[in-house]
Every structure is written in C-alpha cells, then in structure tokens.
Amino acid sequence: MHMLSKIKLLCTLLFWFFSVGGAQAFETNAKAAYIYDLTTGTVLLSKNADTPLPPASMSKLMTLYIAFEFIRAGQLSLEEKLPVSAHAESYGGSTMFLDTTDRVSVADLLSGIIVLSGNDACAVIAEALSPDGTEAGFSKLMTQRAQQLGMTNSTFQNSNGWPHPMHRMSMRDLGLLATRLIEDFPEYYDMFSQREFKFDGRAPANKRNRNPLLGLGIGADGLKTGHTQEAGYGLVGSAQQGERRIVFVLSGLSSTNQRADEAEAIVNWAFRQFTTRSFGKSGDVVTRATVWNGSNADVGLALSKGLTTLVPVLGDAQVRFDVEYLNPIPAPISKGDSLGHLVVTIPDLEDTRIPLVAAENVPRGGFFRRVLTAGQSLVSQVKSQSEIGS
C-alpha cells in the first residue's frame, strides 16, 4: 500500500529553518485581486482569486494569446490585411472606428486591441481565426484553449469582454494568462508597453494606452485595463525591477483614479516589502525516501530546480519546509523521475510547491530483495494491526 507521506524536515534541513521578516499584508480596495512573483513562483496576495467574475476588456488578452499562437504557427502574419464585417463594425464602446470598407493589417489590429482596446478589432481577429468564421465559434475556441492552459474558471462568449452573464474569468486565470503571454511570446511582449497608437487619424481622443503605470519609472510594461458597469475598473499589470518580475490582477475598483493608485501601491509593496533568498540549487538532495522492491532500500529526493523564494524584509516569521511523496516509492526509478514536492510555507503567503525528482537510478531488486521487501511489509502490517487492536 502506498500512502502520501508528509514529512516536516526538522533534521535534514535544519539549516534551512530560520527567522525572516513578516511583511504586512496588502489591504486592497479591489473586490478581487491576485499578485504573483514570476521569478520565484510565489503568490503574494490572493483575494477572491478563484471566483469567476466579469473580466471586461481584460479578457482581450485571450484573443491576443490565440492570435500570437496562429502567427507562430505560420497561419497568420503581421502584414496580412483582414476584412471588417458588419458584425465587427457594429460594436460600440472602445473601438478603432473600423467600417466594412476597411482591410486592416494584423499588426494594426493587435496594436488597436492593446492600446485602444478596440472591440471591433477583436471581432475582426476572431472571425479570421474562428473554426466557423464567426465570433461565437472563436469564443468556443477561447474557452477550449483556456482549459488546456489550466484556466479552469474561464468561459468566453465573445472576443472582447462585451457584457454577457456567461462571460467570466477568475483573477488567478488572468494572472496565469499574463504569465503565459510574457513567457511564451517575448518577441511580442513589448507591444504591451506602447503608450500611444494613432490609427489612421480616426480617433484622436482614443489614442493613448489606458494603463496608468506606463511611464512612471517603476518598471511597469503591460498588460491590459478593463471596465464595464458590472465589472468595475480592473487591470492586469506586470512590472520588472532588477531580476524580479511580478504580475498582478485587480477587479471591481470604483474609478480610474482608484485603479491607478491601487496598481502603483501594489508594485511598490511587492518590490519593497520582499526580497529573494536562495535555499538550495538544482540537484540538492533534501531527504531520502523508502523504495518498494528496489535494488536499494531508498532513493534521494532532489530539487528539480534552484530553490529561490521571497521572504519579507522586516519582522520575525519562520520559513517551514515539508516534503510530500507517495511512500514507499515503487521501483524501478530513473534519475530525474518526478517523485514528490517540497512545500515551502511562509506566514501570510500561499505555499510554494517545488517538484522533487529522483537523485539516482534504482532498478527493480532481485528475487531475494523482493522477498525481503515483502517480508518487511508483512511485519509492518502485523505491527500496525497489533497497535490498532491494543
């Protein structure tokens, strides 16, 4: 029988236990929020982060992600010019003021989505990439692709966030999407820092990026604002200072000023109140686990990557490390096999889980070794039943 073992590393990693600062939690006025440090994989804040909410124009990021995928696959080019349908032209709200006489380059459409938040531009892209040529068909593709990417609290009814009772995303899903855009498409990411886009001189009043953090000198370089009456004011943002990058999502704020103030405060808090600390490098063995029917009795559990995490700068808190794995681990085992997780716990932050892998090969044991293992298991079971009976 294999059972999930949870081992608190009091001895093996005693040198890793120490007091660190306790950062004061960020008190946000947003109805839902999510702050994530990409460099260390640390969630700094989670407030109603898994609740599906109306994302407004922030859901345009999903349309952009799929467009970038089609471009990389060679099925769409930045120079290609797409027609504008009557359906795309019919959208109100934030638009590029497109009409059915236009054929617009994909590059201009992407800038129109990112900078001008063009509802019409999204519909043009959607109809071009939809399996059936309709925005509704593209919306189904968006939902399917989101699920594949791990965004389990996202459903789409259109390409641009136009209000619909079934068009929903969680803040964590938006944070995951922002992370994927940054990591999967670095060649296009600088588009999100465009502060102005003058498309054909059609909308002089709608030429500036609504992201309030661009140009403040705090490392902000993306990604997308959103607003509807139902959703309130929101922002998917990212900023980089030094080697650290954060992604944050806000929703349900009451005004553009409140959105700007909250976003800047979050960036300052995330970078000033936390610092990185290294606890181990890739390949370091953190503990050894019992092996079932192996040529060796145990196997080393090693870090799959360097363990660098955030710790608060001030105060007095304690970092805790736990190991989780199925015990005993059945042979054969190949070096590098995923065997469990190291769970890093810091007060007031979400736990961080680091994959643990086999440090060496453990072949299946010979006949006598398997007999010995079976005998040890039988003795263990008898002892366990005896203790229960007593």
3-state secondary structure (DSSP) of residue 35: strand
Half-sphere exposure of 186 (CA within 13 A, CB side): 1
Whether 130 is catalytic is no
Among 59, 117, 159, 238, the active-site one is: 117
Give, for 340, the enclosing helix (H) or strand (E): strand 338-345
Among 57, 111, 130, 159, the active-site one is: 57
Burial 216-225 (b: 16+ CB within 10 A, else e): eeebbbbbbb
If you ran DSSP here, which 8-state letter would residue 132 be given?
A: T
Neighbours of 361 (CB within 10 A): 16
Cα 81 from Cα 2, distance rounded (Å): 59
Q: Do residues 128 and 75 lie in contact, with contact meaning Cβ atoms separated by under 8 Å?
A: no
Q: Do residues 309 and 344 lie in contact, with contact meaning Cβ atoms separated by under 8 Å?
A: yes
Q: Which residue has the tokens 């459409």?
A: 109
Whether 251 is catalytic is no
**Encoding tokens for residue 161?**
């966030």
Q: Which amino acid is at 58?
A: M
Whether 77 is catalytic is no
Cα 276 to chain centroid distance, Å, stands at 19
Residues in contact with 30: Cβ distance below 8 Å, sequence separation at least 6, in sequence order = 47, 234, 250, 251, 252, 253, 262
Cα 77 from Cα 159, distance rounded (Å): 19
Rg (CA), the chain: 26
Cα 278 from Cα 126, distance rounded (Å): 44
Among 60, 85, 130, 170, the active-site one is: 60
Catalytic residue numbers, as ranges: 57, 60, 117
